[in-house]
Amino acid sequence: MQRKTLTQFLVEQQRREAALPGQLRLLIEIVARTCKAISISVNKGALGGMLGDMGAENVQGEAQKKLDVIANERLLEANEWGGHLAAMASEEMETIHLIPNRYPKGEYLLMFDPIDGSSNVDVNLTVGTIFSVLRAPEDVSGRAVTEEDFLQSGRHQVAAGYAIYGPQTLLVLSVGTGVYEFGLDRETGSWVMTQERIRIPEGNREFAINMSNQRFWAPAVQRYVGECMDGKDGPREANFNMRWTGSMVADIHRILKRGGIFLYPWDSRDPKKPGKLRLMYEANPMGFIVEQAGGKAFDGPHRILDIAPTGLHQRVGVIMGDRAEVDRVIDYHREAVDA
Ligand code: AHM
Ligand code: MG
């Protein structure tokens, strides 16, 4: 394949397919550039003083890692001045971040999980950055942006993507015209396209779930995973493989490339938390990517991108990947309700 940079791709999208607005193109370029800087910090590890905890908790009550804070700051600073954003929100901040008055404001709302899978950082395993872009409501130019402006369902996303900091640093992106992957060429400093129009390979017998939560799952998920575990002798008449990296970005990336299904389903551990993963920073952007790659993303009975959000930090059950496998889990949920 001829080497095509992210900038070339975005210019093409701007001119042709998606008629990508200039502000959105700038936004994506800035997020992508910031992910390069985050990648460098992730790579430095202990040598750059990047490992360990901050000694504080985020709004979710989770211990913040130094890299969570560094990556969050980088994304905020980089996106403040360009005139493309109305406001930002992050998994690491309690409330929304307004654009300072000294800068012009733009049309878009940016949400991110600065370091996804951050418990992997200290043990040198894969982490990522997830982002989601919505259009701000039209009347926002004449007033202050509020949290409610962000509470749009995921089908309204105009772009979403993630950077994955693994053996290679990659950027996976969709502006609603399929899913594209770019590799970071460290010699030239450019994002170079490595795969276009990614489709999730169908029929891979591989599931990703944290088995240690099994006793808390709903009957439909118990049934689905139980049948996978029964292998060739069970109703699926096939042996399944299991993978769990502790980083959603890494697990979903594997599914985009190799197929299979990812589940962090609703569980009964804590009635206040209907799941672990966050709708706005994780489930919606990853659901957008998975659907754009031909897969499906449900919370159990409902399509994730149709959920009307009620809070910035809302959590949901997540079941996404190979559409036939997700359909099966949806059917099991419906059958469990009918029974
Ligand atoms: P984080 O954004 O605080 O890192 O949490 C999200 C991560 C996901 O990347 C991953 O799928 C999940 O948490 C792993 O959770 P667990 O440790 O319960 O298996
Ligand atoms: Mg996360």
Query: Looking at ligand 1, which atom is closest to the CA of residue 247?
Result: 9
Helices (H), the chain: 6-15, 22-44, 66-80, 219-230, 248-258, 284-292, 323-338
The bridge status of strand 296-298 relative to strand 277-278 is unpaired
Tens digits of residue pLDDT in 170-219: 999 999 999 999 999 999 999 999 999 999 999 999 999 999 999 999 99
Residue 62 pLDDT: 75
d(CA 24, CA 1): 26
pTM of the model: 0.96
- pLDDT tens-place string over residues 128-167: 999 999 999 988 877 889 999 999 999 999 999 999 999 9
Cα–Cα distance for residue pair 131/115, rounded to 1 Å: 10
Q: How far apart are CA 183 and CA 167, in angstroms?
A: 11
Res. 1 pLDDT band, cuts 50 70 90: low
Structural domains in the chain, sorted by start: 6-195 (3.30.540.10), 206-338 (3.40.190.80)
Q: Whose CA is nearest to atom 5 of ligand 1?
A: 117
Average pLDDT, the chain: 95
* Other CB atoms within 10 Å distance of the CB of residue 153: 16
DSSP state of 81: S
Q: What is the pLDDT of residue 56?
A: 75
- Which residue(s) pair with 164 in the sheet? 128, 170
**Residue 159: strand, helix, or coil:** strand
Closest ligand 1 atom to residue 210 Cα is 19
Q: How far is the CA of 222 from the centre of ligand 1 (A)?
A: 20
Report how far ligand 2's centroid is from the alpha carbon of 247 (Å): 7
Indicate the pLDDT class of residue 253, thresholds 50, 70 and 90.
very high
Is residue 25 pLDDT above 70, yes or no? yes
Nearest CA to ligand 1 atom 14: 246
Measured by CA distance, the residue closest to atom 7 of ligand 1 is: 117
